[in-house]
């Protein structure tokens, strides 16, 4: 399990790596999970949460099936508070959500084959929302110097978690598995996603942890933001 430690003493541990990363924030006795991963990782996640300690809360970067797949299991076994953006609340509670659009030629092709027809395949067990946020939510009540920030684009209710203005856990706002690019292959609004990159850069963070793949440096994000924003403005 890979761990990053901020100068403020917060530990960010990637407790699940693979289909969809799950991160644990810890500082002293405080424990908060970010996302729950896919259903296929249920047993592995349960064992690791048992080992690391009961989380007070689970922050959902968004509610697609590969991020909310184990929300029901965590609720039954550990009873955490679920934190979600207002645009994702109904999806978290129903266990369903739309399939995101493709941002690249091959993902647009897959989406256009009939995303609506297969949406029911991605249903997961719903859980009640405990805290519903809009633009920003302070995490000091949980013992962390940080906040949750709405970073739409992949979905309208996507959020990122900023800790000590050093590290941001960004869900699918960035992708970390395509060599030479941080652009996710799926997303509903690419223009809004690029504007969310600017919001992330404005936090001052130097490391960005995506839900899929490896960590992303500030320099890499700055380079792609510059290129993509120029293309975005050229199309205005």
The pLDDT tens digits for 62-90 are: 999 999 999 999 999 999 999 999 999 99
What is the count of structural domains for the chain? Answer: 1
**Residue 32: its pLDDT value, please?**
98
pLDDT tier, 180 (very low <50, low <70, confident <90, very high otherwise)? confident
Q: What is the tens place of the pLDDT at every residue in 150-166?
A: 999 999 999 999 999 99
pLDDT tier, 92 (very low <50, low <70, confident <90, very high otherwise)? very high
Q: What is the tens place of the pLDDT at every residue in 198-224?
A: 999 999 999 999 999 999 999 999 999
User: Token pair for residue 38?
Assistant: 């896919």
Nearest alpha-carbon partner for 94 in 66, 67, 63: 63
Instruction: Specify the CATH number for the domain of residue 111.
Output: 3.60.15.10
Whether the predicted pLDDT of 178 surpasses 80: no
Structural domain of 129? 2-234
Nearest alpha-carbon partner for 15 in 26, 7, 27, 28: 26
């Amino acid at each position: 399990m890979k761990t990053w430690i901020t100068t403020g003493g917060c530990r960010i541990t990637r407790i699940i790596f693979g289909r969809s990363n799950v991160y644990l924030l810890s500082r002293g006795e405080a424990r908060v999970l970010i996302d729950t991963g896919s259903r296929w990782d249920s047993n592995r996640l349960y064992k690791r949460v048992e080992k690391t300690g009961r989380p007070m809360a689970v922050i959902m970067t968004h509610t697609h099936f590969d991020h909310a797949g184990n929300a029901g299991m965590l609720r039954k076994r550990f009873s955490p508070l679920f934190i979600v953006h207002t645009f994702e609340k109904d999806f978290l509670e129903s266990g369903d959500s739309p399939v995101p659009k493709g941002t690249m030629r091959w993902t647009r092709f897959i989406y256009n084959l009939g995303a609506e027809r297969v949406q029911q395949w991605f249903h997961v067990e719903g859980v009640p929302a405990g805290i519903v946020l809009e633009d920003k939510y302070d995490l000091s009540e949980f013992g962390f110097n940080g906040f949750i920030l709405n970073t739409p684009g992949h979905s309208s209710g996507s959020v990122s978690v900023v800790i000590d203005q050093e590290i941001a856990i960004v869900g699918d706002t960035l992708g970390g598995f395509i060599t030479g690019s941080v652009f996710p292959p799926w997303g509903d609004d690419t223009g809004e996603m690029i504007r969310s990159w600017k919001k992330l850069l404005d936090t001052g963070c130097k490391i960005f942890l995506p839900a899929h793949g490896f960590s992303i440096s500030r320099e890499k994000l700055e380079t792609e933001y510059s290129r993509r924003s120029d293309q975005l403005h050229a199309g205005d």
